[in-house]
Chains A and B, each alone.
Chain A
């Protein structure tokens, strides 16, 4: 097999997102990472639901399935359960995964099939032209909420951790290198990998993550998580997160406060992941990186093992099956 390149993963379809959409950057990083994973192109399958993000499979030259609103995890589950050798990716958005498809999302996470879920979170409904989404902030004024939205938003990371996802991470559309690394790690993780990608919708919700993407503010508003490293952030890397009386707080390093006083990130500690997941504006920077990565059995492996064990116990004999139980002969 000749080495694959990014070009091999570009389909012949015209990409039809709005100019300036964050989805372009995500598509590009995915297309960059795929050839590096050592998997033949025909083994990749991208499955999506409905929404701007869900057009993604058309643009990747692999097998793809653009399905219906919210149901991609269910379709991916049936495929992966019967074809474990495939590398299955679910591409979804905040409306698709957290609103209409919320039930499927939590269940796929708890079952832990070896899938990769990329959730593009732009905190707005783009394809239907600008209604608030389940991640929109309270008070959001949109076409459907002219007086401000009343809904308390979901935090996708906290939700995924609550559903016992075995791999939970967050990245940002324009953080190309970080995003590539997270995509790679999601692929490498055995089990359902949940990746929230903060994505700018420049038409209906421009600048939703501006603090994290503008050069001037990003360092103070972003907390980059690294396994085994203290939670440090800021332009001069002089601020950190400390735990006092079970309450996280932002502290200035110096004046007797050292990195040794800060929380140290541990991807294998779900309790810590819950705590870090609750950090964010206005009092805290937004964490990005891998919140949690734990090893749990995969559903499809268990299923395959049951099928194999059953075959070991008794050979599949159709005649025997049909003749099972009490039978009698009419002469």
Chain B
């Protein structure tokens, strides 16, 4: 019986951590399989991190290399920070999936393939001249050829489903099989199936049967001689859920708006990989969330700015190409000094680039990508769950300082998932919003003495009628002014206002040695890799440390001192050295870069190797390109 606990009489081996990747055609349901395996794993109490990897085409021609979709999951009995470098297990549904992913499988790793997918036609589509299952080329792996299609068909034979419908249940067979192999409970997946297909009961039956068939097959077949156990991880107590970066971003925005007691408005235009934030918020109208799918990126940010004028917590979400289009409105928002959160979920560029692949190459655009002197605060989330806190903080700063705030995440964070310790709403920071209603002594640009923010006066307030706009304004009155000295004064006060946000930044956390030979300085989604590499290097006796920045503009007040305490500063980034340029310019230090721009995250081993080279006194030549 597939109750998720029975393992039969086969021997059980213990593993500390397992990296598994499900790969198949984009129509094979590998993302669903991966997501369900993730849920099972979270409920089993492991720490985990995931990395979905899918093609931009919704349905590339079946069986081709371009159509391969994959989902990677790292789960462990200890704290982990990344989806893992190399694979312990690869599930490949066809030759194309094998070809694209085999390079990442460790020697001796487990390779599970759908035997029947290796037809002559599919081999040809994947450019295989001979069948790798029989030509001896897979000799260094543990290969498990399973007749997934035949076994699924047999399990469903009396249901009267079409061959195509049966074929689409194969992913749950694989989920069942791998669930047995790693002692995952399959009940969560059953529950998900029942919910997902509640309008088509025959598909509930079919998918549940496939799931159980896979589980039972693995248990009874002689093919799998052992199963593996991964103990729960020792993580902070509390209630957890698994969360992707995009969901965390959406929830962070809603939480901040609730704390502010204001409606949330999202103006957005669909774009990969940002659209899920729009989808998520569109379903949360009971939280006074107004979502508006605009006609283009410009209207997305324009409508948000209009909502901000009216007193809403206003947000626009996009990715790189859309960020370019929003630049002019961001300049306007900077000039009229209204609160607005602009979220750029970065992807590989330039231009359309690789929409489903990740990159960190929009930092300098966020920093400088507007005409005129138009400084804006920039925050970046470090992990999928951190998107919640960072989005929340972006809203808090926007309304406190009356400024647009840029929040950078990326495709890797957006779609990646990790367990999230669910916060208590009462423990979240306050987001005070005070609209000015008092006409006495009122000027539209009368500034708060501390924050330098101007008053937020919303239309509908009697006696405070006033005009704002993109033309330069007189310092206090906000009247249009071309006076030379006034312009410089306004430029300087807007810049000082943003620089003053430094007082919001907590003391920088240094992970590792407080002084030493090497500091790795990172931002954004490289967090997990840098932390794991630092841990490994420290364990090997090196005097290394890691600092990860949430605030990129302004930079933390204590950063300069910290950077000065290390012999070398290495800035790994998925770009050609953008933070690197900022810190070199800001602190006049000879920091060096480590850059990877392949649409994929760094591997821990790559970063560690780069550090070791530096620690050996080599490889100090990587200045900005």
Residues of chain B within 8 A of A81, CB atoms compared: 265, 290, 292, 303, 306-307
Within 8 Å of chain B (Cβ to Cβ): is A325?
A: yes
B residues near A42, Cβ cutoff 8 Å: 459-465
Q: Which B residues, 250 to 303, have Cβ-Cβ distances below 8 Å to chain A?
A: 251, 254-255, 258, 263, 265, 267, 284-290, 292, 294-296, 298-299, 302-303
Q: Smallest Cβ distance from A130 to chain B, in angstroms? A: 21
**Residue numbers in B under 8 Å from A319 (CB-CB):** 424-425
Whether B423 sits at the interface, judged by CB under 8 Å, is yes
Q: Which residues of A contact B238 (CB under 8 A)?
A: 329-330
Q: Are B470 and A307 in contact (CB under 8 A)?
A: no
State the Cβ distance, B248 to closest chain A Cβ, in Å.
10
Contacting pair B286 A104 (CB below 8 A) = no
Q: Is B332 an interface residue (CB 8 A)?
A: yes
Q: Let me know if B157 is at the binding interface, CB within 8 A.
A: no
A74 to chain B, nearest CB (A): 3
B480 within 8 A of A: yes
Interface residues on B, range: 35 or more
Q: Is A321 an interface residue (CB 8 A)?
A: yes
**Hey, which chain B residues are within 8 Å of A43, CB to CB?**
459-460
Among B296, B329, B424, B460, residue most surrounded by chain A Cβ atoms (within 10 Å): B460
B310 touches A83 (CB 8 A): yes
Within the complex, the shortest CB–CB distance from B281 to chain A, in Å, comes to 11
Selected interface stretch from B39-47, B345-353, B401-409 = B39-47
A326 x B425 contact (CB < 8 A)? no
Quick check: is A40 within 8 A (CB to CB) of the other chain? yes
B236 at interface, CB cutoff 8 A:
yes
Provided the pairs A82-B263, A86-B459 are in contact, do residues A68 and B307 lie with their beta carbons within 8 angstroms? no
> Looking at the complex, which one of B288, B329, B469 makes contact with A307 (CB distance below 8 Å)?
B288
* A329-B240, A330-B238, A331-B237 known; A78-B265 Cβ under 8 A: yes
Cα distance, A64 to B42, chains bound together (Å): 52
Contact call B254/A79, Cβ cutoff below 8 A:
no
Is B309 an interface residue, CB under 8 A from the partner? yes
Residue A318 is within 8 A (CB to CB) of chain B in the complex: yes
Smallest Cβ distance from A54 to chain B, in angstroms? Answer: 9
B469 and A57 contact, CB distance less than 8 A: yes
Question: Complex Cα distance A250/B601, Å?
Answer: 72
B310-A78 in contact (CB<8A): yes
A78 x B239 contact (CB < 8 A)? no
Is A328 in contact with B310, judged by CB distance below 8 angstroms? no
Query: Could you tell me the distance in whole angstroms from the C-beta of A212 to the nearest C-beta in chain B?
Result: 32
**Contact A321 B254, beta carbon cutoff 8 Å:** yes
Interface residues of B in 535-549 (CB under 8 A from A): none
The residues of B that contact A133 with a CB separation of less than 8 Å are none
Whether A318 lies near B425 (C-beta < 8 A) is: yes
Task: Evaluate whether A322 and B423 lie within 8 angstroms (CB atoms) in the complex, with A71-B299, A75-B303 already known.
Answer: yes
A150: Cβ under 8 A from any B Cβ = no
CA distance A146 to B232 in the complex (A): 78
Asked, given contacts A65-B469, A83-B460, whether A303 binds B290 with beta carbons under 8 Å apart, the answer is yes
B14 at the interface (CB under 8 A from A): no
Q: B463: which A residues are within 8 A, CB to CB?
A: 42
Residue B305 CB within 8 A of the other chain:
yes
Task: Give the complex CA separation of A98 and B470 in angstroms.
Answer: 21
Q: Is the CB of A321 within 8 A of B302?
A: no
Flag if A63 contacts B240 (CB, 8 Å): no
Q: Is the CB of B241 within 8 A of A79?
A: no
Once the chains are docked, how many angstroms separate the CA of A225 from the CA of B315? 44
Minimal Cβ-Cβ distance residue in B for A324 = B241
* Complex Cα spacing A13 to B381, Å: 45
Q: Is the CB of A78 within 8 A of B285?
A: no
What CA separation (Å) do A85 and B461 show in the bound complex?
12
A327 to B42, CA, bound (A): 9
Alpha-carbon distance between A47 and B467 when the two chains are bound, in angstroms: 9
B138 at the interface (CB under 8 A from A): no
Contact A326:B239 (CB < 8 A) given known A68-B470, A78-B310:
no
Tell me which residues across on chain B come within 8 A of A82, comparing CB atoms. Answer: 263, 265, 290, 307, 310-312
Q: Are the C-beta atoms of B467 and A63 separated by less than 8 Å? A: yes
For residue A323, CB closer than 8 A to chain B, the reply is yes
Q: How far is the CB of A134 from chain B (nearest CB, A)?
A: 18
Chain A's nearest CB lies how many Å from the CB of B438? 14
B286 and A313 contacting across the interface, CB-CB below 8 Å: yes
Q: Is the CB of B460 within 8 A of A86?
A: yes
Residues in B whose Cβ lies below 8 Å from that of A329: 237-240
Contact A78 to B479, CB < 8 A, known contacts A71-B298, A330-B45: no
Smallest beta-carbon distance A77→chain B, Å:
5
Say if the beta carbon of B32 comes within 8 Å of chain A: no
Instruction: Identify which of residues 414-454 in chain B touch chain A, using a CB-to-CB cut-off of 8 Å.
Output: 422-425
- Known: A81-B265, A307-B289, A326-B188; 17 extra A-B contacts, CB below 8 A, are A58-B469, A61-B465, A62-B465, A63-B466, A68-B328, A77-B302, A78-B312, A79-B309, A82-B307, A82-B312, A83-B311, A83-B460, A303-B290, A311-B286, A326-B42, A328-B45, A330-B238
Interchain residue pairs with CB less than 8 A apart (24)? A41-B465, A58-B469, A65-B469, A74-B267, A77-B306, A78-B267, A78-B307, A78-B312, A79-B307, A81-B306, A83-B459, A83-B460, A307-B290, A310-B285, A311-B285, A316-B286, A318-B254, A321-B251, A321-B284, A326-B242, A328-B42, A328-B239, A328-B241, A330-B45
